Amino acid sequence: MIVVIDGPAGSGKSSTARAVAHELNIQYLDSGALYRAVTYLFLKSEQSLPAFFESLYSAKLSFEFGNEFQVNLNGEDITSAIRDPKVSAQVSTVAAMPKVREYINDLMNNAVQQDVYIADGRDLGTAVFPNADCKFFMIADLETRAKRRHQELSLKGLQMSYSEVFAEIKQRDRLDSTREKDPLKKADDAIVVDSSTFSFDEQVQYIVSRIKETITIE
Ligand code: DC
């Protein structure tokens, strides 16, 4: 059983999906983190496409959800490393590669067979899980999203100015929504949640109640 939340960078979908997963005691899958993990590999391959695809097909990429969403690559925990600004700057380019999308989609499709999941991303309701049991599309204006992301990065001690964060998110919005393969798009049957009009707790409770109206979780 799968619930999806799509939306642009900084709309609050990851933190919301994680809180909903804890509240409902279900699994959380952060698809952006998987694209970031693959981008980490791309940077390690020094951006050479043949070397990158070779390392991708032999990679052991796995994830688990405990307190947070943890990503492991070839036995190394790369959960923090994938949040590096160098990864953020390249991730939309790497995520636009059809072979990368196929690789991640297979990984996610295999994972969600086993349990009840809430997953967040860009194209989950439209391309990856078109038959998801419940779909949400989270939005917020660009300034709100940039402010949130800037605050998150500052708390982690990463040095990026507000205007750099704003420009990076704006550029990712453009690349993610205009790419040819499975762009960021609201599914026709997704419920829109504007996170700039809710407090965090309100939006979590709203989503929890809509899920409970739609599906039964044991
Ligand atoms: O959720 P995030 O900002 O960590 O995602 C990082 C990037 O991954 C995002 O800019 C585009 C890509 N992505 C994607 O193309 N499709 C998804 N389902 C999730 C993320």
Residue to substitute in 13, 35, 36 for testing ligand 1 pocket (most ligand atoms within 8 angstroms of CB): 35
112-147: per-residue pLDDT in tens? 998 999 999 999 999 999 999 999 999 999 999 999
Q: How far is the CA of 19 from the centre of ligand 1 (A)?
A: 19
Residue to substitute in 176, 184, 195 for testing ligand 1 pocket (most ligand atoms within 8 angstroms of CB): 176
Using CA atoms, how far apart are residues 92 and 168, in angstroms rounded to an integer?
10
Residue to substitute in 6, 13, 15, 31 for testing ligand 1 pocket (most ligand atoms within 8 angstroms of CB): 31
- Supply the residue whose CA is at minimum distance from atom 7 of ligand 1: 32
pLDDT of residue 103: 96
- CB contact at 8 A, 11 and 193: no
- Supply the residue whose CA is at minimum distance from atom 5 of ligand 1: 32
Q: How far is the CA of 23 from the centre of ligand 1 (A)?
A: 24
Contacts of 52 (CB under 8 A, 6+ apart): 41, 42, 45
pLDDT of residue 1: 92
pLDDT of residue 65: 95
- H/E stretch holding 12 reads none
- Tokens 């020094």 locate to 46
**Which CATH topology does 2-214 take?**
Rossmann fold (3.40.50)
pLDDT of residue 114: 86
Which ligand 1 atom minimizes the distance to the CA of 6?
18
> For ligand 1, which residues put their CB under 6 angstroms from it?
9, 14, 31-32, 35-36, 91-92, 95, 121-124, 172, 176
Domain boundaries, the chain: 2-214
pLDDT of residue 67: 87
Name the pairing type of β-strands 69-73 and 61-65: antiparallel
- Tokens 């909903």 locate to 20
CB count, 10 Å around CB of 156? 9
**Quick one: how far is CA 96 from the chain centroid?**
14
- Supply the residue whose CA is at minimum distance from atom 2 of ligand 1: 32
Q: Both tokens of residue 149?
A: 């992301």
- Listed as ranges, residues in the chain with pLDDT below 50 are none
pTM (global) more than 0.85: yes
Contacts of 154 (CB under 8 A, 6+ apart): none
pLDDT of residue 164: 95
pLDDT of residue 57: 93
Angle between helices 31-44 and 98-111 (to 10 degrees): 130
Nearest in space to 63 (alpha carbons), one of 31, 15, 90: 31
